[in-house]
Amino acid sequence: MATRYDLYVRQNTPVHRLDARVKLIGISLGIIVALLISNLFWLLAYFVVSCFLIMLTRVSWEKLSHVVYPLMLPVTIMISILYPLTSPPVGQPVLLDFWIIKITLPNVLTGLAMAVRIDTMTFVSYVLIFTTTQRDLVRALEHFGLSYRYGLLISSAFRYLPAFEDIINKITEAQKSRGLDLQKAGFMRRIRNYIPLLTSTMITSLKLADQLGIALMSRAFGASSKRTTLTDLKMRPIDGGILGVLVLLFAAFLAARFWLQVFL
């Protein structure tokens, strides 16, 4: 089922073939690096690196635009505008001084840095999401100590989001075929028109949850604390080498940031 919630892109790239545990550790270290960098110039450089990583995944712009335009772009604009307006003025020069609003250049640069930091963290996270199947991601979390019960919960949440979208679309089309108008009525009328959609969606969701519970009970889910898997993650020598390089780069960053006091 191809929906906007299914972000995994099936490709045969080195990033896709990388072990999910290595990607999970690398993405975690990458997010920490983004949080520790405060200089706008270095954040922009790191953002370019994250864009290059996205390019390595061979994700189409059509797929990427589904998450950039509705999610990243509004947040970036909002942070860049609201931070200089709401934060206490710091430093010089003053760019705007009107009534209770006072905007300085350091505040603008800080707001831009915060927006770029969030965009960088998002792009770094998308490298993991675009290249890792839900099964491998959950299995990697289980290798790090997550209970398989919680793993099933995460996997079910990922899989039922597209199912719910499909259910809502089908119910909406069915109601429209019966003459339900969701667009041309007034505001209160449109709210009342959505009640049949909400009711049908809730009933269908409860049926799905009941079917899932029956399926788990019939398979004796949770009866044993040990769980076997048909396929498991396997660490290759190249995965271990890349993991070692990532850890060394992270250690070098920490040394430059805290020991050598490099302005990052």
Mean pLDDT of 27-36: 94
DSSP 3-state of 103: strand
> Closest Cα partner for 19 from 179, 128, 156?
128
What pLDDT does 241 receive?
95
- The tokens for 49 are 């690196």
Contacts 24+ apart (CB under 8 A), 103-110: 107/83, 108/84, 109/40, 110/83, 110/84
25 CA to centre of own chain: 15
Q: Chain-centre distance of CA 19, in angstroms?
A: 19
The whole-number pLDDT of residue 262 equals 67
Give pLDDT, residue 113: 92
Segment 37-44 shows an average pLDDT of 91
pLDDT grade for 124, boundaries at 50, 70 and 90: very high
Q: Where does the pLDDT of residue 1 fall: very low under 50, low under 70, confident under 90, or very high at 90 and above?
A: very low
CB 196 within 8 A of CB 175: yes
Compute the half-sphere exposure of residue 250: CA atoms within 13 Å on the CB side of its CA.
17
Beta strands per DSSP E along the chain: 94-98, 101-104
**Where is average pLDDT lowest: 154-168, 212-226, 234-248?**
154-168
Is residue 127 packed enough to be buried (19+ CB in 10 Å), middle (13-18) or exposed (0-12)? buried
Map tokens 């040394």 to a residue.
255
Is the bond leading into 196 cis (omega within 30 degrees of zero)? no
Provide the angle, in degrees to the nearest 10, between the axes of the packed helices 40-56 and 20-36. 160
Confidence grade of residue 118 (pLDDT, cut at 50, 70, 90)? very high
